[in-house]
Homo-oligomer: A and B are copies of this chain.
Amino acid sequence: MNQKQLQSEQTKRKIAEAARALFVQKGYKATSIEEIVAATGSSKGNIYYHFKSKEGLFLHLLEEWDREWELNWEQNEHLYKTTTEKLYAVAEQLAADDLNHPLTKAADEFFHNEEKTSEVESRMAEMKVKHLAFNQNLLQEGIDRGEFMPGDAERLAVVLEAIFFGANQLSRRLNPEKTTLLYRDAVTVFLNGVATDKQAKER
Protein backbone atom coordinates (compact mmCIF):
# COMPACT_ATOMS: atom_id res chain seq x y z
CA MET A 1 0.00 0.00 0.00
CA ASN A 2 1.63 3.19 -1.17
CA GLN A 3 1.43 6.66 0.27
CA LYS A 4 -1.47 7.76 -1.83
CA GLN A 5 -3.67 4.83 -0.92
CA LEU A 6 -2.81 5.31 2.71
CA GLN A 7 -3.75 8.95 2.62
CA SER A 8 -6.95 8.04 0.82
CA GLU A 9 -7.92 5.54 3.46
CA GLN A 10 -7.21 7.99 6.22
CA THR A 11 -9.42 10.55 4.54
CA LYS A 12 -12.18 8.05 4.20
CA ARG A 13 -11.94 7.19 7.86
CA LYS A 14 -11.88 10.84 8.79
CA ILE A 15 -15.06 11.44 6.85
CA ALA A 16 -16.69 8.40 8.39
CA GLU A 17 -15.81 9.49 11.89
CA ALA A 18 -16.98 13.03 11.46
CA ALA A 19 -20.19 11.76 9.92
CA ARG A 20 -20.72 9.36 12.79
CA ALA A 21 -20.33 12.12 15.34
CA LEU A 22 -22.85 14.25 13.54
CA PHE A 23 -25.34 11.47 12.95
CA VAL A 24 -25.11 10.58 16.60
CA GLN A 25 -25.63 14.17 17.64
CA LYS A 26 -28.35 15.20 15.25
CA GLY A 27 -29.79 12.11 13.64
CA TYR A 28 -29.71 11.01 10.05
CA LYS A 29 -31.93 13.41 8.23
CA ALA A 30 -30.94 16.44 10.21
CA THR A 31 -27.30 15.94 9.31
CA SER A 32 -26.55 17.50 5.96
CA ILE A 33 -23.64 16.76 3.72
CA GLU A 34 -22.66 20.40 4.10
CA GLU A 35 -22.21 19.87 7.81
CA ILE A 36 -20.05 16.84 7.26
CA VAL A 37 -18.01 18.92 4.86
CA ALA A 38 -17.62 21.63 7.48
CA ALA A 39 -16.61 19.09 10.11
CA THR A 40 -14.04 17.29 8.02
CA GLY A 41 -12.45 20.09 6.12
CA SER A 42 -12.85 17.74 3.19
CA SER A 43 -14.94 18.77 0.24
CA LYS A 44 -18.37 17.74 -0.84
CA GLY A 45 -17.09 16.16 -3.98
CA ASN A 46 -14.59 14.17 -2.02
CA ILE A 47 -17.25 12.68 0.16
CA TYR A 48 -19.03 11.51 -2.94
CA TYR A 49 -15.74 10.23 -4.23
CA HIS A 50 -15.38 7.97 -1.20
CA PHE A 51 -19.01 7.11 -0.64
CA LYS A 52 -21.70 6.46 -3.15
CA SER A 53 -24.32 8.50 -1.36
CA LYS A 54 -25.46 9.73 1.99
CA GLU A 55 -27.27 6.45 2.49
CA GLY A 56 -24.17 4.54 1.54
CA LEU A 57 -22.12 6.48 4.03
CA PHE A 58 -24.55 5.79 6.80
CA LEU A 59 -24.80 2.14 5.95
CA HIS A 60 -21.04 1.93 6.10
CA LEU A 61 -21.19 3.22 9.66
CA LEU A 62 -23.87 0.74 10.61
CA GLU A 63 -21.93 -2.18 9.25
CA GLU A 64 -18.78 -1.02 10.96
CA TRP A 65 -20.68 -0.81 14.20
CA ASP A 66 -22.15 -4.26 13.75
CA ARG A 67 -18.71 -5.70 13.15
CA GLU A 68 -17.39 -4.07 16.30
CA TRP A 69 -20.31 -5.34 18.33
CA GLU A 70 -19.79 -8.87 17.17
CA LEU A 71 -16.06 -8.73 17.75
CA ASN A 72 -16.59 -7.43 21.22
CA TRP A 73 -19.06 -10.20 21.94
CA GLU A 74 -16.81 -12.90 20.65
CA GLN A 75 -14.08 -11.64 22.91
CA ASN A 76 -16.29 -11.66 25.98
CA GLU A 77 -18.62 -14.57 25.45
CA HIS A 78 -16.34 -17.00 27.25
CA LEU A 79 -16.73 -14.97 30.45
CA TYR A 80 -20.26 -16.22 30.86
CA LYS A 81 -20.98 -19.81 31.67
CA THR A 82 -24.72 -20.28 31.42
CA THR A 83 -26.89 -19.09 28.58
CA THR A 84 -28.92 -17.15 31.09
CA GLU A 85 -25.82 -15.24 32.04
CA LYS A 86 -25.11 -14.67 28.40
CA LEU A 87 -28.56 -13.24 27.85
CA TYR A 88 -28.08 -10.78 30.65
CA ALA A 89 -24.67 -9.92 29.27
CA VAL A 90 -26.16 -9.24 25.87
CA ALA A 91 -28.74 -6.99 27.49
CA GLU A 92 -25.99 -5.21 29.37
CA GLN A 93 -24.00 -4.68 26.23
CA LEU A 94 -27.04 -3.42 24.34
CA ALA A 95 -27.95 -1.06 27.14
CA ALA A 96 -24.39 0.24 27.16
CA ASP A 97 -24.56 0.70 23.41
CA ASP A 98 -27.75 2.65 23.81
CA LEU A 99 -26.03 4.94 26.21
CA ASN A 100 -22.53 5.30 24.90
CA HIS A 101 -22.99 4.86 21.25
CA PRO A 102 -26.27 6.42 20.36
CA LEU A 103 -25.94 5.84 16.68
CA THR A 104 -28.95 3.74 17.53
CA LYS A 105 -31.12 6.81 17.46
CA ALA A 106 -30.00 7.74 13.99
CA ALA A 107 -30.25 4.11 12.96
CA ASP A 108 -33.88 3.87 13.99
CA GLU A 109 -34.65 7.01 12.14
CA PHE A 110 -32.85 5.70 9.11
CA PHE A 111 -34.65 2.39 9.24
CA HIS A 112 -37.93 4.23 9.19
CA ASN A 113 -37.21 6.50 6.28
CA GLU A 114 -39.18 4.93 3.54
CA GLU A 115 -37.22 5.70 0.40
CA LYS A 116 -34.28 3.37 0.18
CA THR A 117 -32.23 2.02 -2.63
CA SER A 118 -32.91 -1.65 -3.24
CA GLU A 119 -29.27 -2.27 -2.43
CA VAL A 120 -29.61 -0.60 0.94
CA GLU A 121 -32.79 -2.53 1.50
CA SER A 122 -31.08 -5.84 0.94
CA ARG A 123 -28.06 -5.01 3.05
CA MET A 124 -30.38 -4.05 5.86
CA ALA A 125 -32.27 -7.30 5.47
CA GLU A 126 -28.98 -9.14 5.80
CA MET A 127 -28.23 -7.42 9.06
CA LYS A 128 -31.64 -8.29 10.41
CA VAL A 129 -31.25 -11.93 9.47
CA LYS A 130 -27.91 -11.99 11.23
CA HIS A 131 -29.44 -10.59 14.40
CA LEU A 132 -32.21 -13.13 14.42
CA ALA A 133 -29.75 -15.92 13.79
CA PHE A 134 -27.69 -14.71 16.71
CA ASN A 135 -30.72 -14.76 18.97
CA GLN A 136 -31.83 -18.11 17.72
CA ASN A 137 -28.43 -19.64 18.34
CA LEU A 138 -28.33 -18.33 21.86
CA LEU A 139 -31.83 -19.55 22.61
CA GLN A 140 -31.22 -22.96 21.08
CA GLU A 141 -28.12 -23.26 23.20
CA GLY A 142 -30.19 -22.44 26.26
CA ILE A 143 -32.78 -25.03 25.32
CA ASP A 144 -30.16 -27.67 24.65
CA ARG A 145 -28.54 -26.99 27.98
CA GLY A 146 -31.90 -27.44 29.65
CA GLU A 147 -31.94 -23.87 30.90
CA PHE A 148 -34.89 -22.83 28.78
CA MET A 149 -38.15 -24.61 28.16
CA PRO A 150 -38.12 -26.62 24.97
CA GLY A 151 -39.76 -24.52 22.30
CA ASP A 152 -39.44 -23.08 18.88
CA ALA A 153 -36.17 -21.15 19.04
CA GLU A 154 -36.92 -19.38 15.80
CA ARG A 155 -40.16 -17.91 17.03
CA LEU A 156 -38.66 -17.03 20.37
CA ALA A 157 -35.79 -15.34 18.60
CA VAL A 158 -38.27 -12.96 17.02
CA VAL A 159 -39.86 -12.24 20.37
CA LEU A 160 -36.47 -11.56 21.90
CA GLU A 161 -35.57 -9.27 19.04
CA ALA A 162 -38.84 -7.43 19.52
CA ILE A 163 -38.08 -6.98 23.20
CA PHE A 164 -34.64 -5.58 22.57
CA PHE A 165 -35.90 -3.43 19.77
CA GLY A 166 -38.64 -2.03 21.94
CA ALA A 167 -36.33 -1.48 24.88
CA ASN A 168 -34.04 0.43 22.61
CA GLN A 169 -36.84 2.70 21.49
CA LEU A 170 -38.26 3.39 24.90
CA SER A 171 -34.85 3.98 26.38
CA ARG A 172 -34.43 7.03 24.22
CA ARG A 173 -36.15 9.21 26.76
CA LEU A 174 -34.82 7.41 29.79
CA ASN A 175 -31.80 8.21 31.89
CA PRO A 176 -28.88 5.76 32.06
CA GLU A 177 -29.96 3.99 35.22
CA LYS A 178 -33.49 3.44 34.00
CA THR A 179 -32.20 2.24 30.66
CA THR A 180 -30.04 -0.43 32.25
CA LEU A 181 -32.91 -1.38 34.49
CA LEU A 182 -35.30 -1.66 31.58
CA TYR A 183 -33.01 -3.98 29.68
CA ARG A 184 -32.45 -6.11 32.75
CA ASP A 185 -36.15 -6.23 33.61
CA ALA A 186 -36.91 -7.13 30.04
CA VAL A 187 -34.56 -10.10 30.13
CA THR A 188 -35.88 -11.19 33.51
CA VAL A 189 -39.39 -11.09 32.16
CA PHE A 190 -38.27 -12.92 29.09
CA LEU A 191 -36.74 -15.62 31.23
CA ASN A 192 -39.35 -15.94 33.92
CA GLY A 193 -42.48 -14.19 32.83
CA VAL A 194 -44.86 -12.70 35.32
CA ALA A 195 -47.52 -15.37 35.70
CA THR A 196 -47.91 -17.37 38.84
CA ASP A 197 -50.00 -20.01 37.22
CA LYS A 198 -48.16 -22.20 34.77
CA GLN A 199 -51.31 -23.67 33.28
CA ALA A 200 -51.67 -20.67 31.07
CA LYS A 201 -48.59 -21.82 29.23
CA GLU A 202 -50.57 -24.24 27.15
CA ARG A 203 -53.04 -21.67 25.93
Is A127 in the interface zone, CB < 8 Å from B?
A: no
Most interface-central of A26, A30, A186, A201 (chain B CB within 10 A): A186
Residues on B with beta carbons closer than 8 Å to the beta carbon of A156: 185, 189, 194
Is A166 in the interface zone, CB < 8 Å from B?
A: yes
User: Which A51-109 residues sit within 8 Å CB-CB of chain B?
Assistant: 84, 88, 108-109
* Known interface pairs A109-B114, A158-B170, A159-B182; A194-B188 also in contact (CB < 8 Å): no
Residues on B with beta carbons closer than 8 Å to the beta carbon of A175: none
Asked if B162 contacts A166 (CB within 8 A), the reply is yes
The oligomer's copy count stands at 2
* Known interface pairs A181-B155, A185-B156, A189-B190; A195-B147 also in contact (CB < 8 Å): yes
The answer for the CA separation of A149 and B200 in the assembled complex, in Å, is: 14
Asked if A151 contacts B181 (CB within 8 A), the reply is no
Residues on B with beta carbons closer than 8 Å to the beta carbon of A114: 26-27, 29-30, 109
Is A163 in the interface zone, CB < 8 Å from B?
A: yes
Asked if A88 contacts B191 (CB within 8 A), the reply is no
Asked if B185 contacts A203 (CB within 8 A), the reply is no
The answer for the CA separation of A147 and B199 in the assembled complex, in Å, is: 11
Residues on B with beta carbons closer than 8 Å to the beta carbon of A203: 88, 188
Asked if B165 contacts A169 (CB within 8 A), the reply is yes
Residues on B with beta carbons closer than 8 Å to the beta carbon of A197: 84, 147
A32 to chain B, nearest CB (A): 13
Asked if B195 contacts A149 (CB within 8 A), the reply is yes
Asked if B196 contacts A193 (CB within 8 A), the reply is no
Is A19 in the interface zone, CB < 8 Å from B?
A: no
Is A115 in the interface zone, CB < 8 Å from B?
A: yes
| A binding-site residues for B, Cβ under 8 Å | 26-27, 29-30, 84, 88, 108-109, 112-115, 139, 142, 146-149, 151, 155-156, 158-159, 161-170, 181-182, 185-186, 188-198, 200-201, 203
